[in-house]
Structure 1
Amino acid sequence: MTVRSAWLLPLTQTREDTRLTPVGTFAPESEMRTRDGVIAGGNPFAATSAGAMSLQIGVGRAQVQGTDAQGAYPVSVDAPTVLTFTDGEAQFARIDSVALRVYDQLFDQAGQNLATVEIIRGTGAATPTAPSMPSACLRLWDVTVPPGASAGTGGIPWSSALGDRRRFTSAYGGIIPRGYGLAFNGAYDGQYRDNGTGLERWNAAAKAWQAYPATPTRPMSTKQVTAAPLTTTGAFVDFTAAAWPRITFTVPPSGAVFVTVGGQVSNRSTSASTAWMTWRATGAYTEAHGALNGISAQASRVIASRRVYRDGLTPGGQITLIPGWNVSSNGGTDVFVQDGQLTVEFVQ
């Protein structure tokens, strides 16, 4: 037998039918529907030329969904099947589709119980489109039949005529392999799929597929352009945006970031003299210049960095970081705040 289906022929399902058809595959698409599609493994239902107007479809397994009342039919093709296309139209090209189709006399008018691989013929047109699929039918390949194509005129140019339309499915909780088309919604929160370059997770609240794990956001960083002017003593002063550009960022979904400030600070005016390099935050979160985030030197020169963790921020909020400086005095040896760098790292 070439094409088998479980749960179709009354009282005649063989042990081989049960073993060869993917009975356990069940990826939900809605409350009562199964995501139909091809079962991955090797190159299922491969299409190869079998003649000028003939195409061979290889072995494979699949789920074919009918109406909600019908449910899904597990199907397997256990031997290659050759299909022959009718000649091309006189004037226009047409697109025919190769599909797995299940006939069930309890639900259709065909009067038979049968699983087949068959051609669903399209209509010739100046801009042809693939035909609509009947119920309980899974599209595998589209074939463009040129006008006037026949065995006597060279037939169908298989290298350019084939369009792969195989979409894949998986068991419940499994990762849906990439196949034809990514324009489909997930069925439940937390469903996974492979988009060809990585994993995506369905976010039901956002109604969107999102990269998993979330694509890391690159750190944002600015560098000090000019040294602190040191025109004020004993108070924290903002760098101008020209002297050291600010950073404005959007808080990630985690509500957490690392902020690092580093550079050189020095003040050896007296044994008690200090110099500071700091930052402050405004916007959706506020924090002042000071000992909680800065680096400092007292009666010495320091080259260092300080990395601090801030969480509990409002996701999606906008925050601006402003670098700052402070010197307690300016009249002695080696007084400067320079070579600064400010960096924000986003916690996923």
Structure 2
Amino acid sequence: MTVRSAWLLPLTQTREDTRLTPVGTYAPESEIRTRDGVIAGGNPFAATSAGAMSVQIGVGRALVQGTDAQGAYPVTVDAPAVLTFTDGEAQFTRIDSVALRVYDQLFDQAGQNLATVEIIRGTGSATPTAPSMPSACLRLWDVTVPPGASAGTGGIPWSSTLGDRRRFTSAYGGIIPRGYGLAFNGAYDGQYRDSGAGLERWNAAAGAWQAYPPTPARPMSTRQVTAAPVNQSGAFVDFTAAAWPRITFTVPPSGAVFVTVGGQVSNRSTAASTAWMTWRATGAYTEAHGALNGLSAQAGRVIGTRRVYRDGLTPGGQVTLIPGWNISSNGGTDVFVQDGQLTVEFVQ
């Protein structure tokens, strides 16, 4: 095994060190810090059993962030490393961690300049937790060591005790691959990551990762239950919520929607008689029943739909659509407003 690190004293950095270490991979985490993590590609730093108490860590490349003053160390492991764990505690379970660690005598007390793959030992406990990482240390795996585990007692059950803690990083502007843990904030507005289910974009104003492109909201629709009573004339009347349920929706970020109303309207009382199926809006956006959004018939029957576009709404606002009807008179045959459907579609 050779563990290589670029830009670490003494001045013996070889051409191979420079070629192998990921010098150009710097995804910011703050004004001065770099997001440390594993460089994706294949299965870097894979862990496999190498014996009852030993694990083999495969090859890989990574960045290991130290203090702000230290900066980030590019590190490469170019041959598998075998690590052996100490025996389990007499009574309690212990969690040890496998980590990449950089020693730099300019910043620590170890007195050496060295990059290693090593075990950070935890503490046995009835409720064990993984050990804290020293500076310039990147956790790769957690290993649960059962009480009394040793080579003579069968060792560590590798199939059930390995916890993958590899987190990934990328170059500036790149998409951070999915790895262990998604509970981290973005470093700048517009940063991208892979959530495992799709892309997410960091919205600095909202302080949240958001699906990108935004998940299209499905249209919302409601159907008329009862025909209009046609017991009034000359005015627009709201359907009761029982006769035709209302729609309440949240305005999308675009501030735009399509609203469609459709059904059957008829009034053959006279040659001038009309019937209307309409809607009105209340809440963060208001609009009255009327010709701008309604479906109508005069001296006959119409089966159809009316789809209108509305923009300039306040994103995030709550709007309620209320279906309505209107007849000019009710003294003849075929006077009805029925079989209605109201739909709102969200513009992304």
Alignment partners' CA distance in 1, 2:65 and 2:33: 7
SS in 1 for 2:335: strand
**Could you list the runs of 4 or more consecutive aligned residues of structure 1 that deviate by over 4 angstroms after TM superposition?**
none
Shift of 1:248: 2.0
Alignment partners' CA distance in 2, 1:334 and 1:283: 35
Deviations, residues 235-258 of structure 1 (Å, cap 9, x unaligned): 211111221112222222222111
- Hey, what does 1:101 align to over in structure 2? 101
Shift of 1:262: 0.5
Shift of 1:232: 1.5
**Aligned pairs, number:** 348
Deviations, residues 116-168 of structure 1 (Å, cap 9, x unaligned): 10001111111111111011000000011111111111111000110000000
Shift of 1:272: 2.2
Shift of 1:53: 0.6
Shift of 1:218: 2.2
Alignment partners' CA distance in 1, 2:133 and 2:50: 24
Alignment partners' CA distance in 1, 2:288 and 2:128: 66
Shift of 1:280: 1.0
- Which region of structure 1 is more displaced relative to structure 2, 209-218 or 97-106? 209-218
- Which region of structure 1 is more displaced relative to structure 2, 226-235 or 91-100? 226-235
Are positions 1:35 and 2:35 aligned together?
A: yes
SS in 2 for 1:122: coil
Alignment partners' CA distance in 2, 1:9 and 1:116: 15
Alignment partners' CA distance in 2, 1:315 and 1:169: 33
Shift of 1:269: 2.5
Shift of 1:270: 2.6
- Hey, what does 1:5 align to over in structure 2? 5
Alignment partners' CA distance in 2, 1:156 and 1:226: 69
Alignment partners' CA distance in 2, 1:58 and 1:66: 23
Alignment partners' CA distance in 2, 1:138 and 1:156: 23
Deviations, residues 170-223 of structure 1 (Å, cap 9, x unaligned): 010111111011111111111111111111111111111111122222222211
Q: TM-score normalized by structure 1?
A: 0.97
SS in 2 for 1:50: strand
Residue pairs, 1:130-149, within 5 angstroms: 130-149=130-149
Alignment partners' CA distance in 1, 2:123 and 2:347: 54
Alignment partners' CA distance in 1, 2:57 and 2:190: 35
- Which region of structure 1 is more displaced relative to structure 2, 121-130 or 54-63? 121-130
Alignment partners' CA distance in 1, 2:234 and 2:342: 23
Identity %: 93
Segments of 5+ residues of structure 2 without an aligned counterpart are none
Alignment partners' CA distance in 2, 1:194 and 1:32: 24
Alignment partners' CA distance in 1, 2:164 and 2:241: 55
Shift of 1:69: 0.4
Alignment partners' CA distance in 1, 2:284 and 2:100: 56
- Which region of structure 1 is more displaced relative to structure 2, 10-19 or 313-322? 313-322
Deviations, residues 6-59 of structure 1 (Å, cap 9, x unaligned): 111332111111111111100000011000000011100000000001100000
SS in 2 for 1:17: helix
Q: TM-score normalized by structure 2?
A: 0.97
Residue pairs, 1:203-282, within 5 angstroms: 203-282=203-282
Deviations, residues 60-83 of structure 1 (Å, cap 9, x unaligned): 000000000000000011111100
Alignment partners' CA distance in 1, 2:150 and 2:237: 83
Are positions 1:323 and 2:323 aligned together?
A: yes
Shift of 1:332: 2.2
- Which region of structure 1 is more displaced relative to structure 2, 189-198 or 267-276? 267-276
Alignment partners' CA distance in 1, 2:67 and 2:160: 34
Shift of 1:325: 1.0
* RMSD over equivalenced CA pairs, Å: 1.2
Shift of 1:338: 0.4
Deviations, residues 267-311 of structure 1 (Å, cap 9, x unaligned): 222322221100111222221111100111122211111111111
Deviations, residues 329-348 of structure 1 (Å, cap 9, x unaligned): 22223221100011112222
SS in 2 for 1:19: helix
